[in-house]
Structure 1
Amino acid sequence: MTIQRRLTDIGHYLSNAVLRVLGKALRLLPYSRRLRVGSWIGRAVLMRVPAARKRVHRNLDMVMPQLTKADRDRLITGIGDNFGRVLVEEMMMADVVSDPTRFRASGDGLEALVTAQEQGRGAIIASAHYGNWEGARASALAQGVEIAGVYRTHNNPYYNADFVAALRTLSPNAFSKGRQGTRDLIKHLRGGGVAEILVDQKQTGAPLIDFLGHPAETTLTAAKLALSMNIPLIPVITFRAADGETFDSVFAAPIPPSDEHTMMAAVNDQLSVWIRERPEQWFWFHRRWR
């Protein structure tokens, strides 16, 4: 290992160690207070990071140029609140899902999902980095349906190990993006499994499909898998409730089979409607558009 790689590894280890220490300290507090600490971190610290704040403003300028300064300030406060709560929830996922009453589910897609499982068929859940997206997996589990996670491997291997462990709190199946992960995901779906794919991040080189009113490079993977295996593609969103601690997952009716582009356009349209409903719960930090 070169000196540079060794230094990078040490940096990764130390940064993740800080998160672990923070997580242990938070666990000394009552559940609600932990989330309030996360909210404060999101609002007072993370939203003041110049690069993050600049990206949020750039995205809001594009999507919601009509906002007054007061409305934008309130929205940014809400974005920080949700982001900070999610970070804390990731640190204590087992605690989050230990109380099934925190998760509620509704929508035509939920019945379609349960029916597909009863028939021995898999399904694709298409969602976004919104509210806490693990809520869809938790609420489905309460209905007897286990949903696997699909994730992008983080550069920090120590953080990635903790992140994957949190994903596996809801299902032992967690598939990384990439060649081997995709093969494992296909095998899972062919065996009648269900997986959630978050489709709201930019994928360089993917087709441009409208998202929140602007063309965005959008992966077609979810639609390709649904078409090739004749399984339902179900858009889902998880709203954080007003109490800041419980969640309402809405499973929309499955997207009618057609072609990959048309199906993903329908997914983006549905996600856009939900995001505009409570925009403070979407992760505006993404470089979603060119």
Structure 2
Amino acid sequence: MTTEPFPTGNKADWLADRALRGLIGTLMRLPYDTRVRMMGSALRRAIGPLAGYRKRAEQNLALVYPDMGVIKRRQIAEQCCDNFGRTVIENYSWQEFGKRLHNIKPQGDGLDVLSDAVKAKRPVIFVTGHFGNHEAPRQVLTAMGHTIGGLYRPMQNAYFNDHYAKTMTSWGGPVFAQGRRGTMGFVRHLRGGGLGTLLFDVAAPGPDLPFLGHPARTSVSAAEIALKLDAVMIPYFGIRQADGLSFEVEVEAPIAPDTPENMLLAMNARLEAQIARNPAQWFWVHRRWKNRKRSV
């Protein structure tokens, strides 16, 4: 038995987790609509500025849109933090979130391809980004009878990850943490016609590929797995609507088989198109372009 009070992280991580647990626990006692709005407001008005999320979002916006005015960047950064907060509490509220999405009919050219793949027992890898709410498409397709597993990247704060991971693993298909063992489990799930999803838009080991006009380290594992298993690679997105609570789900045409790098370039282009239409819905708070000089 260890006497170390913070065996899996540091004191700052532990304190941050205690604060978030308290906030989430309090909000979970409130009606669904109220808790979603309040969590969005908390990230926009307090947590985002204090944690540096708003500043990082503004820095990323300045990098990508150097001609954008300071006021506009601040507005988008605040809206981004609001969407971030709503997404977090929606995913903790996964049962109520699923009920809210139950009647949504997904749209897009990928639906027929998905149906054909399921009938043929061909694996399907859904790829998406931190945009809108990335769990909305999985919720909607799961409600239609699909079993969709996942491969996720654990959060750096191990204390927070312990309970946040349950928002992904408590429903749908099997979900695996990234790493050798997790990737092997994900591949086993896909073999024989399984469906799985992963997010590709965070800095990860891989080539520097252009994203929003700047090189960004990009994992090509989704494409490599798709090519290895002859899986269909389908982009999908959960797009938040103007009321802040409802969604549209787009299941896009599949990414054509090619080199892994070219497939991820195509996926970058799909996400870039979504961002161009709804810039505040992408998670600008991530360190997507590391080691680059930025100015605000």
Work out whether the TM-score is over 0.5.
Answer: yes
C-alpha distance in 1, partners of 2:252/2:278?
A: 17
Amino acid at match of 1:140: L
Question: How far is 1:156 from its partner?
Answer: 4.1
SS at 1:105 equivalent:
coil
Question: For the residues of structure 2 that align with 1:237 and 1:167, how far apart are their CA atoms?
Answer: 17
Number of aligned residues: 289
Residues 80-106 of structure 1: CA distance to partner in whole angstroms, max 9, x if unpaired?
Answer: 210111122132222211333464411
Listed one character per residue, the Cα deviations across residues 190-230 of structure 1 (whole Å, up to 9, x for unaligned) are 132111110000113x1111111212111111111111111
1:173 aligns with: 174
Asked if 1:41 corresponds to 2:42, the answer is: yes
Unaligned runs of 5+ in 2: 291-296
3-state secondary structure, aligned to 1:238: strand
Structure-2-length-normalised TM-score = 0.89
Q: Is 2:22 the partner of 1:21?
A: yes
Query: How far apart are 1:7 and its partner, in Å?
Result: 9.1
Q: 1:80 to 1:8 in 2, by over 3 A?
A: closer
1:52 deviation in Å? 2.3
Whether the aligned pair in 2 keeps the contact of 1:239 and 1:248 (CA below 8 Å) is: yes
Deviations 1:131-166 (A, max 9, x none): 110001011113322221211123444432322221
Q: How does 1:1-290 map to 2 (within 5 A)?
A: 1=2, 3=4, 5-6=6-7, 8=9, 15-49=16-50, 51-101=52-102, 103-204=104-205, 206-290=206-290
**Partner AA of 1:30 in structure 2:** P
CA distance in 2, matches of 1:172, 1:141: 9
Distance of 2:24 and 2:48 partners within structure 1: 20
Deviations 1:14-51 (CA, angstroms, capped at 9, x unpaired):
64444333333223322111111112101101231263
TM-score, normalised to structure 1, is 0.91
Aligned-pair identity (%): 34
Moved more, 100-109 or 267-276: 100-109
Code of the aligned partner of 2:93? M
- Whether the aligned pair in 2 keeps the contact of 1:94 and 1:169 (CA below 8 Å) is no
Deviates more, 1:193-202 or 1:156-165: 156-165
Query: SS state of the match for residue 106, structure 2?
Result: strand
Whether the 8 Å contact between 1:126 and 1:199 is mirrored in structure 2 is yes
What is the CA deviation profile of residues 44-94 of structure 1, one whole-angstrom value per residue up to 9, with x for unaligned ones? 012312632332122111111121233223212211210111122132222
What SS is found at the alignment partner of 1:129? coil
Stretches of structure 1 lacking an aligned partner (at least 5 in a row): none
How far, CA to CA, are the matches of 2:11 and 2:82 in structure 1? 31
Q: Aligned-pair distance for 1:276? A: 1.5
Distance 1:139 1:76 in 2: 28
Q: Tell me by how many angstroms 1:179 deviates.
A: 0.6
* Separation in structure 1 between the aligned mates of residue 65 and residue 7 of structure 2, nearest angstrom: 44
